[in-house]
Structure 1
Amino acid sequence: MDYSKLPSQEIERLARTIHPGAWAIEPERPLATLLGSCVAVCLFDPQARVGGLNHFMLPNIRRGSNDDVDSLLSGAYAMEALLNALLQRGAKKLRLQAKAFGGGTIINTSGPSMSIGLRNAEFTKEWLDREGIPLLASDFLGPWSRKVLFLPMTGDAFCRRMVTNMATAETIAREEKSYADTLAQKPKSTEKKIELF
């Protein structure tokens, strides 16, 4: 089915929704997500015609002495998981292109949480630059929530800025808080130890 010929409302209705902390690759089916301070990155290989989308947030709550490591791991994991899955499906890193969205401030907060959106956006740009993946389009920061639709077959991405009403803000805040809480939890100890060398 050629989703690119459909009206955006129909694309949105048929899309697979990606929630905070998740990523997906679809051969044809559109991918959609709703963003607040989180960021979504769409990666696409135009020659292999394969693409995917992730939805992540760097943690706001600190676990201890490994603050920087914890912050980077959540964003790095989301990016690496998507990248590796695309490579397994025939994408080549040299051909990948990116589009990224989010990092908004939709809820009035004070303290360090004010910078979550900015930190997410900066991390995204730095990661893509470090990996040599061009960022073709982006829409970061501002007081908006965003609805993102991505067509993995064509690499087309659509971002709709939305004035955030209280109901939408509460929904986004609830999902982002739930996701942030999982990032703040210390991983459960397992009997098997992994040694990196």
Structure 2
Amino acid sequence: MRRRHAPPTVPTDEIATGARRYRDSRFDAVAIKVFPGEHYVTDVEDEMLVTVLGSCVAACIRDPKTKVGGMNHFMLPESFGTWGDASDSMRYGNVAMERLINDILARGGARRRLEIKVFGGANVLNGVAKIGHRNADFVEDYLAAENLPIAAYHLRGSLPRRVHYFPATGRVMLLELPRVEHEALVRNETSYKSKIQVEPVAGSVELF
């Protein structure tokens, strides 16, 4: 099933203040933006999680019984060590996956009931050795090693994606972005990649 939508309208005062939460009248939902290196877990029925992915990967995970679910967003596949700061270490896929799953379980979710959908991993960054596809490989390998089945996915390719996720129902709407938005995303991801490497660690919609 495919549908086309105009981009959501974000109030200008929220753009000015960098707010991450806004009311999306198209979906009659409160939208929560999930940025690189972040994750968000909720049991609020009318919350919708939104992110834009290039080479990054997002996992959308929920427990259908408790309706607790969330999303993460990571750029680098894996790292090892002891991490003291969640926001710093969430750049890495293994930490991002563990934190998201553990937070859902801490709110009453059960591992055996987890419904997992994964998106992103496009190769959009020039001069980077297929980091997008490496991220996609990582999330598939991680979930296989943890014996956690994937319910739906849209991975790899070369186009960035916008993802809308409704944890209460498990519904995902995915939009592949046009070239003009592709170029803007590449600039943002390149900037983010440079930032995390130098900082110390402290048009069509598809329904899934």
Q: Match for 2:112: what amino acid?
A: L
Q: Match for 2:39: what amino acid?
A: W
CA apart distance, 1:184? 1.7
Does the C-alpha gap of structure 1 residues 72 and 51 become closer, same or farther in structure 2, counting only changes over 3 Å? closer
Aligned CA RMSD, in angstroms, stands at 2.8
1:175 and 2:203 correspond: no
Q: 1:46 — aligned with what? A: 64
Does the C-alpha gap of structure 1 residues 188 and 103 become closer, same or farther in structure 2, counting only changes over 3 Å? closer
Structure 1 residue corresponding to 2:124, chosen from 93, 101, 106: 106
Does the C-alpha gap of structure 1 residues 145 and 73 become closer, same or farther in structure 2, counting only changes over 3 Å? closer
Deviation beyond 6 Å, 4+ runs, structure 1: 70-73
In the alignment, structure 2 segments of 5+ residues that lack a partner are: 9-25, 82-88, 203-208
1:26 and 2:57 correspond: no
Structure 2 residue corresponding to 1:125, chosen from 120, 140, 159: 140
Q: 2:98 — aligned with what? A: 80
Does the C-alpha gap of structure 1 residues 188 and 104 become closer, same or farther in structure 2, counting only changes over 3 Å? closer
Does the C-alpha gap of structure 1 residues 106 and 78 become closer, same or farther in structure 2, counting only changes over 3 Å? same
Does the C-alpha gap of structure 1 residues 72 and 32 become closer, same or farther in structure 2, counting only changes over 3 Å? closer
The aligned runs of 1:87-166 (5 Å cut-off) are: 87-107=105-125, 109-110=126-127, 113-165=128-180
Counterpart-to-counterpart distance in 1, 2:90 and 2:164: 26
Counterpart-to-counterpart distance in 2, 1:13 and 1:143: 30
**Paired residue total:** 171
- Report the TM-score when normalising by structure 2: 0.72
Q: Is the 8 A contact 1:51 1:153 kept in 2?
A: yes
Q: Match for 2:75: what amino acid?
A: M
Residues 1-37 of structure 1 deviation map (CA, whole Å, 9 limit, x = unaligned)? xxxxxx8952397411111111101223000100101
CA apart distance, 1:140? 0.8
SS class of match (2:162): strand
CA apart distance, 1:169? 2.8
- Report the TM-score when normalising by structure 1: 0.76
Q: Match for 1:142: what amino acid?
A: G
**Structure with a larger share of its residues in helix:** 1
Identity %: 36
SS class of match (1:53): strand
Residues 120-146 of structure 1 deviation map (CA, whole Å, 9 limit, x = unaligned)? 000000111111211011111112110
User: Larger relative CO (CA 8 A, sep 6+): 1 or 2?
Assistant: 1
Counterpart-to-counterpart distance in 2, 1:91 and 1:171: 37
